[in-house]
Amino acid sequence: MSDTSPVPAYVRTPQAAFLASLGVDRELARFDLAGSVAHVEMLGHVGILAPGEVASLRGGLRAVAREIALGSFPWRPELEDVHTNIEVRLTDLVGPVGGKLHTARSRNDQVAVDERLYLRSAVARVAAALVRLEERLLAKAGAEAERPMPGYTHLQRAQPVTVGHLLLAHFWQFDRDLDRLFATAARSNVSPLGAGALAGSTLPIDPSDTAGRLGFERAFENSIDAVSDRDPFAELLFDLALLAVHASGLGEEVVLFASKEFGFVARTPALGSGSSLMPQKRNPDVAELVRGKAGRTVGDLVALLTTLKGLPLAYDRDLQEDKAPVLDAIATSLAVLEALASVVEGLEFDPVRLGAAAADPELYATDVAERRVAGGAPFRATHESLARSYAAGAHPEVEPSGTAPDPARALAARSTAGGPSPTAVRRQLSLARARLDARVASLSSLDRAVGRIEELLTEDRG
Ligand code: ARG
């Protein structure tokens, strides 16, 4: 057994460097190895490989996994991709039986299964980071549940809400993001392995066997679809792009609220760094960068959709371009979620500035109108007469007693379900808590499926 087998003929071309994908797809190595262990075990199960061959191949694949984990794997860029690197190294380690690994398999179904295993684990990582952010939002919303603040539409002061109510609005956006990620993982829970290049095999392989070993719900229905389908990556990128859009909105509010003009939150180091020139500056640049990174993630989605558009079925080499945007969007999302969680945790609301803003009588114009309506006045006429008063600079009495506006009383009166009254916000907090607990349970079952990879690569099952 030589230490450096020759470069296989199928990857020899003057344009090898152009075709190479190793720089990107080596991130898929553990998934590729797990897929190979499942494939080898299936080949043994159906009698294509002898038990001794299965044992050598599986042992060799696990040895390769250890080399990769330790950083001692001899990556060879001239071998084009992760798949060929692993197969060639396996053959160096176990000898000619290594040449049987790729029996009844193509890199087309191989890369497709790698990607679905990667997606499952990537969703689990992003979901865990989202849960950590949502925990921070819930904690802050609980602490600030009843603190009055102006609610804005068109970025103009509109009606009173509470800080907790606003933070919970962000919670529900992120809860839907989590739901979408789990749904994406569930829809992609189908194994493409066994589709071969596009038309299955003449050998008696069993795709449902490998599907089961890898923890998939089932095998593909159509071998052409199986090697072509990149919907899981497209959905994942959409989920991450919308998540990034949501994160950017929260980032923007933090930026606004940390300005001297609003002054609702303190400009603490948790929000960012200072200026190299202006000694007085303390910038909210963590929140700004959370906002800015959304451009990149949205770009990743557009990049993939553009690559996929107009491709004939089944595998086309264009599909090799699918991985870089996904890996980039996953890394970006994880970084953004961690940064945003620490921003939320570090938010220090200014009671004086918020109190003054919440006492603005104009916030209660609708309340005044509704008091008159409750007394029997028609709404439209009341609205018109109040609009004339406010336009003339007059401030009709918010409190029947004629005293200054009492935000706490006004908020308690907004008692409709899902609204900002303290009672409704407390109820909302407990709904949010229960929802997050349920998501954490879904995440544990996803984590168990992700654990199949490590089991295949380490378990000694003879
Ligand atoms: N590097 C390829 C990709 O990422 C692997 C599949 C190659 N298949 C092929 N027929 N050349 O898509």
Task: Supply the range of the domain harboring residue 277.
Answer: 108-131+166-202+217-348
Give yes or no: 154 in active site: yes
Indicate whether 462 pLDDT > 50: no
21 CA: nearest ligand 1 atom: 1
83 and 230 share one domain = no
- Crossing angle of helices 163-187 and 422-458, in 10° steps, is 30
Q: Is 170 in the pocket of ligand 1 (CB under 6 A)?
A: no
Tell me the two tokens of residue 82.
Answer: 């992760």
Find the CATH number of the domain harbouring 266: 1.20.200.10
Q: What is the DSSP string of 217-272?
A: SEE-S-HHHHHH--HHHHHHHHHHHHHHHHHHHHHHHHHHHTSTTT--B---GGG-
CA angle 253, 272, 132 (to 5 degrees): 70
Q: Using CB atoms within 10 A of its CB, is residue 359 exposed (0-12), middle (13-18) or buried (19+)?
A: middle
70 and 125 share one domain = no
User: Token pair 């229905």 is at which residue?
Assistant: 221
* Shortest-distance Cα residue to atom 2 of ligand 1: 320
Task: Identify whether 224 is part of a domain.
Answer: yes
pLDDT digit string (tens) for 387-427? 999 999 888 888 888 888 999 999 999 999 999 999 999 99
Between the CA of residue 139 and those of 135, 347, 369, what are the distances in Å? 6, 11, 35
Q: How much of the chain is in helix, strand and coil states, percent to nearest 5?
A: 65, 5, 30
CA of 64 to the centre of ligand 1 (A): 21
312 and 173 share one domain = yes
Which of 52, 85, 103 represents a domain boundary (last residue)?
103
Task: Identify whether 455 is part of a domain.
Answer: no
Give yes or no: 275 in active site: yes
Task: Identify whether 253 is part of a domain.
Answer: yes
Closest alpha carbon to 97 in 146, 48, 137: 48
CA–CA distance, 165 with 446 (Å, rounded to integer): 31
Task: Identify whether 158 is part of a domain.
Answer: no
pLDDT digit string (tens) for 70-120? 999 999 999 999 999 999 999 999 999 999 999 999 999 999 999 999 999
Indicate whether 459 pLDDT > 80: no
Rounded to 5 degrees, what are φ and ψ at 344? Answer: -65, -45
CA–CA distance, 332 with 421 (Å, rounded to integer): 37
Catalytic residue of the set 2, 154, 401, 444: 154
Measure CA 179 to chain center.
Answer: 10
97 and 243 share one domain = no
Catalytic residue of the set 275, 385, 389, 415: 275
Which of 307, 331, 348 represents a domain boundary (last residue)?
348
Find the CATH number of the domain harbouring 50: 1.10.275.10
CA of 39 to the centre of ligand 1 (A): 18
CA of 320 to the centre of ligand 1 (A): 6
For all residues of the chain together, what is the average pLDDT?
96
Q: Is 107 in the pocket of ligand 1 (CB under 6 A)?
A: yes
Q: What's the confidence (pLDDT) of residue 181?
A: 98
Task: Please give the tally of structural domains in the chain.
Answer: 2
44 and 71 share one domain = yes
24 and 86 share one domain = yes
